């Protein structure tokens, strides 16, 4: 999966400034390559573990297409709040008191957001919308402070402020209206918020800040681990009230093997190769925005959907999964692989055909295993993921990856 791209970029030895930039990104100690995740950031991450778990709960209550759409909408909002803070924190001085205060305040707010998620399209809609909007405005304040210190571009942040404000206004109005209007306005709010850096202020985005690559890539890798950990929790919750049997052991074992396989596809070589490519990229800010802020959402969504299906498989391992549960199990992993292919293409410049074939095989497994026991479904998915991991271990891939580094 890394082979050709890693080799093709291996001759890059120094980082180049962004090309075609409207303005040079600020330079400061915030761009220190040795900077890693701080303890307060790890504490802050804990509330997102809770929020992600609540998204899984929301989806598991309604495994229809409408339920999937609502859950993915909430996930997109939660993800965007987390990702936005990563950028703002990346532009801040690591020992800034303002940074610590902003993260601790947003920790409280995100926990309330998480409490409201299961009823975000019902009685807790207003609570969800108002606390979520508060989180986004804390993020803007943190970014404004970074610009005041010379660590971020004031014009880019001003552009974000317009789209964030418009999006949050729609979110709050939608929560007051409820029903179809709520879904429509929340979808529009998410679209506007995502469109801010994606299209409306893309040229300004190029010069927003220097990216502290080690810190930046580590943060997104940690979030992938958070989501994989949530899938393990889901397996345990599904199995906790069941009598231990051969079917349960087989189902749980398969679920853990799938989780390990998803971890392997990301962290075995890909994460390090993508980080190295970001260090040498001619346009690092846009590459980071595309591959991490946007495309990583597909990875996260795949893990969340898989967790719901695996929780059902652990809950009744000897019985067939219903259509929605089986689709969640198989298509969730397929979605993760598609996201991996997209990030691979954006960062390393080559298409991972094996990942696409694996996604197609998973969808075939969904179509062909409608009347088998859940443990067999889980084992079939585990077998496909295992084959992909084995292909990644081929000697030719190891040698090419090493040459690319």
* pLDDT tens-place string over residues 6-18: 444 433 333 333 3
Looking at the structure, do residues 199 and 139 belong to the same domain, yes or no? yes
Looking at the structure, do residues 120 and 174 belong to the same domain, yes or no? yes
Q: Which of 303, 310, 373, 365 is nearest to 336 (CA)?
A: 303
Residue 103 structure tokens: 């993260």
194, 210, 226 - which closes a domain: 210
- How is 205-240 classified by DSSP, letter by letter? HHTS----HHHHHHHHHHHHHHHHHHHHHHHHHHHT
Looking at the structure, do residues 166 and 51 belong to the same domain, yes or no? yes
Looking at the structure, do residues 172 and 60 belong to the same domain, yes or no? yes
Contact 138, 108 (CB under 8 A): no
Could you tell me the CATH number of the domain that includes residue 245?
1.20.1410
Looking at the structure, do residues 173 and 238 belong to the same domain, yes or no? no
Average pLDDT, the chain: 86
Q: What domain range is 330 assigned to? A: 212-405
Higher confidence at residue 283 or residue 76?
Answer: 76
Among 4-8, 208-212, 383-387, the range with the most confident prediction by mean pLDDT is: 383-387
181, 210, 239 - which closes a domain: 210
Please indicate, yes or no, if residue 195 is contained in any of the structural domains: yes
**Least confident range of 4-8, 168-172, 248-252:** 4-8
- How is 337-393 classified by DSSP, letter by letter? HHHHHHHHHHHHSS--HHHHHHHHHHHHHHHH-TTS-HHHHHHHHHHHHHHHHHHHT
Spatial neighbors of 364 by CB under 8 A, at least 6 apart, are none
210, 233, 259 - which closes a domain: 210
Is residue 167 scored above 80 in pLDDT? yes
The mean pLDDT of 25-30, rounded to a whole number, is 44
Looking at the structure, do residues 105 and 197 belong to the same domain, yes or no? yes
Looking at the structure, do residues 169 and 110 belong to the same domain, yes or no? yes
Please indicate, yes or no, if residue 27 is contained in any of the structural domains: no
Looking at the structure, do residues 140 and 240 belong to the same domain, yes or no? no
Looking at the structure, do residues 84 and 220 belong to the same domain, yes or no? no
Residue 49 structure tokens: 């573990």
Q: Model confidence at 397, in pLDDT bands (50, 70, 90)? A: low
DSSP structural state of residue 122 = T
Element spanning 315, H or E? helix 296-315
Please indicate, yes or no, if residue 24 is contained in any of the structural domains: no
Please indicate, yes or no, if residue 21 is contained in any of the structural domains: no
Looking at the structure, do residues 230 and 124 belong to the same domain, yes or no? no
Looking at the structure, do residues 83 and 105 belong to the same domain, yes or no? yes
**Cα 158 from chain centre:** 25
Q: Model confidence at 201, in pLDDT bands (50, 70, 90)? A: low
- How is 48-100 classified by DSSP, letter by letter? HHHHHHHHHHHHHH--SHHHHHHHHHHHHHHHHHHHHHHHHHHTS-TT-HHHH
Among 21-25, 162-166, 199-203, 333-337, the range with the most confident prediction by mean pLDDT is: 333-337
**Least confident range of 2-16, 95-109, 289-303:** 2-16
Percent of the chain with pLDDT over 90: 61
Is residue 263 scored above 70 in pLDDT? yes
Please indicate, yes or no, if residue 397 is contained in any of the structural domains: yes
Please indicate, yes or no, if residue 6 is contained in any of the structural domains: no
- Total domain count, the chain: 2
Q: Specify the residue for token string 């804390």.
A: 138
Helical packing angle, 39-61 and 213-239, nearest 10°: 40
CA distance 289 to 83: 9
CA distance 133 to 173: 12
Looking at the structure, do residues 204 and 229 belong to the same domain, yes or no? no
Please indicate, yes or no, if residue 26 is contained in any of the structural domains: no
- State residue 13's pLDDT score: 34
Please indicate, yes or no, if residue 374 is contained in any of the structural domains: yes
- State residue 200's pLDDT score: 60
């Amino acid at each position: 999966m890394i082979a050709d791209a890693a080799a093709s970029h291996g001759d890059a030895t120094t980082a180049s400034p962004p090309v075609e930039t409207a303005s040079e990104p600020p330079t400061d100690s915030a761009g220190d390559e040795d900077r890693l995740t701080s303890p307060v950031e790890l504490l802050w991450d804990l509330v997102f573990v809770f929020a992600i778990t609540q998204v899984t709960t929301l989806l598991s209550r309604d495994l229809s297409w409408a339920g999937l759409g609502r859950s993915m909408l909430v996930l997109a909002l939660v993800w965007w709040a987390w990702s936005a803070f990563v950028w703002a924190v990346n532009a801040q001085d690591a020992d800034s008191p303002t940074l610590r205060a902003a993260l601790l305040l947003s920790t409280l707010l995100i926990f309330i957001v998480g409490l409201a998620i299961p009823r975000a399209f019902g009685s807790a809609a207003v609570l969800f919308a108002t606390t979520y909007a508060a989180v986004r405005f804390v993020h803007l304040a943190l970014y404004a402070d970074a610009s005041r210190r010379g660590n971020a571009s004031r014009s880019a942040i001003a552009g974000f402020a317009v789209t964030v404000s418009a999006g949050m206004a729609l979110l709050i109005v939608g929560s007051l209206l409820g029903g179809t209007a709520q879904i429509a306005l929340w979808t529009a709010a998410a679209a506007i918020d995502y469109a801010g850096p994606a299209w409306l202020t893309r040229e300004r985005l190029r010069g927003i800040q220097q990216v502290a690559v080690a810190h930046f890539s580590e943060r997104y890798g940690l979030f992938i681990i958070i989501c994989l950990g949530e899938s393990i929790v889901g397996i345990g919750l599904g199995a906790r009230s069941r009598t231990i049997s051969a079917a349960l052991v087989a189902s749980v074992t398969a679920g853990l093997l799938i989780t390990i396989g998803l971890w392997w596809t990301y962290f075995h070589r890909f994460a390090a190769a993508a980080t190295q490519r970001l260090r040498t990229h001619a346009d690092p800010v846009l590459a980071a925005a595309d591959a991490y802020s946007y495309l990583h959402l597909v990875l996260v969504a795949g893990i969340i959907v898989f967790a719901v299906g695996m929780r059902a498989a652990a809950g009744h391992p000897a019985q067939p999964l219903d259509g929605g549960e089986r689709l969640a199990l198989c298509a969730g992993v397929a979605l993760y692989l598609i996201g991996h292919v997209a990030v691979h293409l954006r960062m390393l410049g080559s298409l991972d055909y094996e990942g696409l074939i694996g996604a197609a095989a998973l969808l075939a497994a969904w179509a062909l295993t409608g009347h088998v026991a859940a443990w067999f479904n889980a084992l079939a998915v585990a077998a496909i993921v295992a084959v992909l991991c084995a292909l990644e271990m081929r000697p030719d891939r190891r040698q090419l990856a090493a040459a690319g580094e």
